[in-house]
Amino acid sequence: MPSLLIIKMRRYVIAGNWKMNQTPTETRSFIKTLAPLVKGKDNCDIVLCVPFVDIWVAAEEAAGSNIHIGGQNVHFEEKGAFTGEISANMLRDVNAEYVIIGHSERRQYFGETDETVNKRLKTALAHGLKVILCVGEMLDARQAGITEEIVSMQVKLDLAGVSADELKNVIIAYEPVWAIGTGLTATPEQADETCGTIRAVIAKLYGKAAADEIIIQYGGSMNDKNAADLLAKENIDGGLIGGASLKPDAFTAIVSAAQ
Ligand code: PEP
């Protein structure tokens, strides 16, 4: 039997989430190392979402390369008395193009809810940022067989009030919480199934054309060993990568797997 050839019309997006790692000095030398390694690998978009203080240096070092820079959160207000928060204007001013919103660590440790995720997302889009929206179920939800319900609800609530036009600047990262930073990866089949569920929700909300276009990433212990199998799946259009994005060689191997 000839194997089924899946031709993807969507462009892969491989994004690193550095979390709270790397100083500005380390960032400069990391990008100096990474840029030549990924040079010419133009069949996917490459993004590094770095700590706020690193964005300026990262954008400066990445200028002229195929690496794009983003932040890891943004506040929904324009400015004001919100100690410790960052505005969309501030991100744009330091040349961030992307921002992660709703990462499970923000939801788990910093009290983010679907309501605040939705507000942050709308503000980011209004300021021309591209958003990587994270959704995903906890282990008990997967074990209870309610992954589909949980993830569908998150997508609906997080995208409430977002127009079809604005959706073009949204990437959805499906990140099962039990797979993040644990070394446990969803099987390619599990990941593909839930990414397919998300695509079906988008089809219901925005129509088939939008569902066919939207980039849906998998995230959760993706690495140089498992990336190719995950990225080969029909509904998986890229990865959001934590640990392995801190290693230039491993991250480059994932970028290569998406070519
Ligand atoms: C993440 O931070 O979004 C993530 C997927 O982390 P890791 O790859 O380390 O599991």
Per-residue pLDDT of the chain (259 residues; tens, 9 = 90+): 444 555 678 999 999 999 999 999 999 999 999 999 999 999 999 999 999 999 999 999 999 999 999 999 999 999 999 999 999 999 999 999 999 999 999 999 999 999 999 999 999 999 999 999 999 999 999 999 999 999 999 999 999 999 999 999 999 999 999 999 888 888 999 999 999 999 999 999 999 999 999 999 999 999 999 999 999 999 999 999 999 999 999 999 999 999 8
Looking at residue 244, the DSSP 8-state letter turns out to be G
Please work out whether the CB of residue 220 comes within 6 Å of at least one atom of ligand 1.
yes
Q: Is 103 a catalytic site residue?
A: yes
Looking at the CA of residue 179, tell me the nearest atom of ligand 1: 10
Domain extent listing, the chain: 12-257
Atom 4 in ligand 1: residue holding the nearest Cα = 242
Please work out whether the CB of residue 242 comes within 6 Å of at least one atom of ligand 1.
yes
Q: Is 175 a catalytic site residue?
A: yes
> Three-class SS string for the chain?
CCCCCCCCCCCEEEEEECCCCCCHHHHHHHHHHHHHHHCCCCCEEEEEECCHHHHHHHHHHHCCCCEEEEECCCCCCCCCCCCCCCCHHHHHHCCCCEEEECCHHHHHHCCCCHHHHHHHHHHHHHCCCEEEEEECCCHHHHHCCCHHHHHHHHHHHHCCCCCHHHHCCEEEEECCHHHCCCCCCCCHHHHHHHHHHHHHHHHHHHCHHHHHHCCEEEECCCCCCCHHHHHCCCCCCEEEECHHHHCHHHHHHHHHHCC
Q: Does domain 12-257 have CATH number 3.40.50.12140?
A: no
Looking at the CA of residue 219, tell me the nearest atom of ligand 1: 5
pTM: 0.96
